[in-house]
Structure formats: structure tokens, C-alpha cells
A = this chain, B = another copy of it.
Amino acid sequence: MQKYKVTFLPDNKTVEVAKDTTILSAGISCGIFINSACGGDGVCGRCKIILKEGNVATQISPALDLEEKKKNIYLACLTTVHSDLQVEIPQESRMDLNASLNDIFVKSEEVESKEAILSDSIFKHSPLATKMYLELPKPTLNDTSSDLDRLLQRIRKVQALPIMQTGLTNIRQLGELLRDSDWKVTVTLGKRNDTVEIVLIEPGDTSNKNFGLSFDIGTTTLSGQLIDLNTKKILGTKATYNKQASFGSDVITRIIYARQEEGLERLHAAVTESMNQMIKELCSEHNVDLNDVSYVVCTGNTTMIHLLLRVDPTYIRREPYVPTANFLPVVRAAEAEIKINPRGLLSCVPGVSSYVGGDTTSGVLSSGLYQEEALSILIDIGTNGEIALGNKDFLVACAASAGPAFEGSGVGCGMRASSGAIQKVKVGPQDFEVTLFTIADTKPRGICGSGYISLISQMLNAGVIDKNGKIKLENHKRVRNGPSGKEFIVVFKEGADASTDIVISEADIENLKRAKAAIYSATSILVKHMNFQLTDVKKIFIAGGFGTSLDIESAIKIGLLPDLERKRFIFIGNSALAGARQMLLSSDATIQAAEIARKITYFELSVDAGYMDEYMAALFFPHTDLKRFPSLKG
């Protein structure tokens, strides 16, 4: 087979690939991750590259204009290699993972403030990994218990554990270790399904070094926390894009990609590499030795969890939509290539069905929805929006495919909720001047989900856009025609930490409108399906990776959230991550999570006859039916 060399600039990385390989694939092969929201269908236009040298074959795409074609710009997903090539990947086509992670990860303090409301867990402190320092009685001629029995007996003096497991690796080192450490050792006990495993045996007293990690693996965003399991303290939190986005922006495109040769392996590597990088950074920043981390709890939707464990997700999208497993066994983290202590354990929050995963379970857990007296709802706004309705008596959930717009992906100037992200905006009603509030008060770099919600709400208020999302304002320095149609300049590049103006285009608004319509209509249909009215819902927990703030008023104004009494809304930040942390810190929470997952009934939106109408009706700001938003009439 004919092979060619492709060199990526400015990285100057070269990879040899077969003729007819797409540039997107070639990039992945050498660790260059190019944006691709549509999974290589040539429609999203996020994977533009500049051909510097060589011959390619390509297909026509509406996502490229004449100007761009003249500049040798191609779509990486539609363009195949026909000679040795040099291609340049512009910054805006790149998944920013390859830039310095410190820059991209959300600083802990930015996320923690909101999550604090969930951190005073109602659960007893009983972490999934505990350390126990033991001074064993030395053997004598009158006390010749074996080394292992001696250890087990000593452990059982502290804690009554009927079933304890130990691996051969530990036993092989036991004799020498006990004697070299003068019979003073620290054991790490890990909960493993319904048993307890002696995960580690270390010389001396290391009981004060007992760390764990919780992860929320989102389709678009990956968030992780390093936790001191002894003190329950969150040492650090980070978030980054899920590198898998290079293989498609939603779960369906990833499931399809997983069927390709090495597809599953690549998707698995993409997410675990990001996690390992995050683990390394978190540990290094907080002076924690990787070997002192012995437990990881991961939550995420069902597809993400399958990919994390390298389990084929194929059947999730084939009728009748059955995942391989909702409840996965606790495994050694190393089996999933997660690099903590080589003997450390990995537990996944149990899911409910193919489209309602462990992230819903952990959200229901951390929000406390499952024990509410009154009818309550949890709306987790993400690429896969999950909505759970219920109280202490019942739980029902559905999933809405909203796309990644509220996570700052698939929109022109979108970014995650990290430093420099515009998270709140005011647009003057007469002069259309824009006042900005960025995360960490730094120069604006882009717009995050809460920023877009605020911006659209303000543009509506000021009359910049109409309820269809079309830009009405004309003859103003902030309005112009851009490559994707009309756009409103939010920040001129002089005032931005960016190479171009920060804008919102009509295409972006359309994307955001669809996302909010998906969430709103799913919420509305789920409530109706259970024979309630939206007004019956007494508590609305709003979750999602919005950083420190989400302005509920704006979210109602654009029709993302239903128009209910404002005090019923509680913004709880990343509730999935908070639930995973609760499980890591408490066996009781782990047991509760399993009960929740078993209790939740899955409701499949697509089989509801009214869903499509409801969705179409929601494709306005705030809604076609203004009677649903009475408080906005004024």
C-alpha cells in the first residue's frame, strides 16, 4: 500500500499514513487533536486546516467559503492524503488540550465555591480506601501464626471484616516486608464489590497519605478532583475537554467510531490519556505521590463509562438499546490504564440504561433529590442533558441530546468555564455597548455556557436579536457579516486576549437555541409524561459545568428553564462530580447510589408522540407559547 508522510505545523510532527487516509485521522495518529463536532461528516466546519505543500483529494462542503478555498483551507475530515504533505493546524481548529494544561484547567477555587453546598455530605465518612497503621506482635515459638494470618487478625481487631481478599503480589512480598519494617506496616483496605481487598501493604506509618480521585467524564468536558480521603478535603479540581471530541462531538458518532479498526482503543486512549495527565498535574501541584492514590470513582454517561473501560459500546445505539453493563465491577485502575498506584482500584458509578448513565445517578445522589418530600427535578445541562424527576417515592429520568454548545464547544468563540471566559454580559439598551464579567476577572478569551445564556438574554432585552434568534440590529459597529452569516461583536480584539474579535454569529445562536430547546422540551415532556404540571415541581436543581455561576433569570428569559418561582431553583454546579466524590468518601453513599440506579425508571423521549412538537415549539426565545412564560410579559 502506498504510504505518505504528513507533517503538521507548527508542531512539526510527522506521521506516515496510507494513501487516502483523512488528515483528521493522520492527526490523531500522531497526537494532534483537531476539532470535529460532526464526527467527520464535513458539516460542522470545525476542522479547518491550511494545506502548505502536497496533493490532496477533497469533497465539497458548505462549511467552506470561496475566500477560504483561495487560502488553501480544507476540512481535515473530508480531505485525504495523496502525496507527502505539510499542513498547518490553525489554533481555532485545535482541541486546546495540547496547550499548557495549567492554562486550561479550571482553577480549583473557581469551581469549589458552588460545590461547597454539596460537600457537607449527609453520609458517614467511610472512604472506599482506608489506611490502617498496625504494629503487629512479633512471632515467637509460642505464637507461630503465619504472616498473613497475623496481619488479618490484627486488622480484624480494628474492624470486623468477614471477607478480606489479598492478591498474590502482596503475599509474595509479605515475609520480607514485615521483617524489614519491624512488624510495623500500613495496610490500605479498598472496598471491592461486596468484599474488602488488602490493596497495599507498606512499611511504617503512611496512614496520613491516603488519597483518591473522583472524575466526571462528560462527552465534551472531563472534570476531576483530588481528595484527601482522611480529611475529606478537596485538594484540587481541574477540568479539560475530553480529547475524544476529535472523534465526534456526541455519543452516537463515538459509538460509530468505536466500530472502526482500533477505534475503541483510540477512544479509550484519548480519555485515559487526558485523565492521566490531569492526575499527574493534580498530584504534582499538591505534592501527592501517585502511589499514595489508591482509589478512583468515575461517573459519566453510559457510553463514556464503556469507553473508559474499553468495553464495546456498539449495542447502546442498536435497537433495543442495551448497554453491556450498567453496574460494572470494581477493577484495578491499571486494567483501564489509569495511572495511580498500580494496585489501586477503580469504581464506576452505576448507570440506569443506555442513555441515562452514572452521571444521572450521582447527580440524584448529590442533589438529594431521592429523599425530597416534594416533587423535584434535576436538570443537568451538558452535551447529553439528563433530566431526573421524582422524590423519595419515585424517580424517572430521560436524556436530551443537546449538543456541546453550553459547554463552549461547537460555537464560534465558545470555551469552557475557565479563566478569561465571559460568564456574564450586559448589553446597553440604547447604545448596545457591552459590559463584561469574566472568570477570574482576566481579559476575555471567549464565551462559556453561562456567558452565552446571559448574552442571548441581554441581546433579546436590548432588541439586538428577535425571538427567532436573528440579528435585527443594523448599521452598528458591532454588527457585521461574517463567514457564518450575521454576527455581533461582543469584544473587539483590542480588548480581548485573542487574535480575533470575540463574536456571536446567527449560526451560534441557532446552535444554542437548539440546545436550550432540547433541554426545555425534555423537561416539559418528562413532567407531562408523569401526569404533572411544570408548576407542580417544587424544587429545580440545575447542574452543569458552568463554573461559579448560572444566572437563572437569563436562563428562563431564553427559555432554557421553565418560568417558575425563582426561589425554587437551586444551582448546584457539577452535581455528577459531587456525587462521585460522595461515593469515594462514603461506602454508605456508594450503597445509596446503587439503590438510586436501581430505582430510576428510564423514559425514552423519542417514543413519546408529543416530543417532536414540543421541541419545535421551543425553538424560539423563550418559546412559541408565551403563556408558558408569564413572568416575562412585562
Question: Which of A144, A149, A194 has most B Cβ within 10 Å?
Answer: A144
* Whole-angstrom CA separation of A165 from B139 in the bound complex: 35
Q: Is A499 on the interface with B (CB-CB < 8 A)?
A: no
Residue of B nearest to A325 (CB): B148
* Whole-angstrom CA separation of A279 from B48 in the bound complex: 60
Query: Pick the contact of A144 from B310, B311, B322 — CB < 8 Å?
Result: B322
Residues of B within 8 A of A534 (CB): none
Residues of B within 8 A of A148 (CB): 324-328
Q: How far in angstroms is the closest Cβ of chain B from A520?
A: 26
Q: Is A62 on the interface with B (CB-CB < 8 A)?
A: no
Q: Judging by beta carbons under 8 Å apart, are A175 and B321 in contact?
A: no
Q: Judging by beta carbons under 8 Å apart, are B325 and A163 in contact?
A: no
Residues of B within 8 A of A145 (CB): 322
Taking A194-B163, A312-B176, A327-B149 as contacts, is the C-beta distance between A320 and B171 under 8 angstroms? no
Residues of B within 8 A of A149 (CB): 325-327
Q: Is A521 on the interface with B (CB-CB < 8 A)?
A: no
Q: Judging by beta carbons under 8 Å apart, are A175 and B319 in contact?
A: no
0/1 string, A301-320, CB within 8 A of B gives 1? 00000000111101100011
Q: Is A195 on the interface with B (CB-CB < 8 A)?
A: yes
Taking A148-B325, A325-B147, A329-B165 as contacts, is the C-beta distance between A141 and B320 under 8 angstroms? yes
* Whole-angstrom CA separation of A305 from B315 in the bound complex: 45
Q: Judging by beta carbons under 8 Å apart, are A171 and B353 in contact?
A: no
Q: Judging by beta carbons under 8 Å apart, are B168 and A309 in contact?
A: yes
Query: Pick the contact of A311 from B171, B324, B353 — CB < 8 Å?
Result: B171
Q: Judging by beta carbons under 8 Å apart, are A311 and B141 in contact?
A: no
Q: Is A335 on the interface with B (CB-CB < 8 A)?
A: yes
* Whole-angstrom CA separation of A257 from B346 in the bound complex: 39
Residue of B nearest to A330 (CB): B165
Q: Is A172 on the interface with B (CB-CB < 8 A)?
A: yes
Q: Judging by beta carbons under 8 Å apart, are B193 and A324 in contact?
A: no
Q: Is A91 on the interface with B (CB-CB < 8 A)?
A: no
Residues of B within 8 A of A326 (CB): 146, 148-149
Taking A144-B322, A324-B146, A326-B149 as contacts, is the C-beta distance between A175 and B139 under 8 angstroms? no
The chain A residues found within 8 Å of chain B, CB to CB, are 139-141, 143-150, 162-163, 165-168, 171-172, 174-176, 179, 193-195, 309-312, 314-315, 319-329, 331, 335-336, 353-354, 602, 604, 607
Q: Which 4 A-B pairs have the closest CB atoms?
A: A148-B325, A175-B324, A139-B322, A146-B326
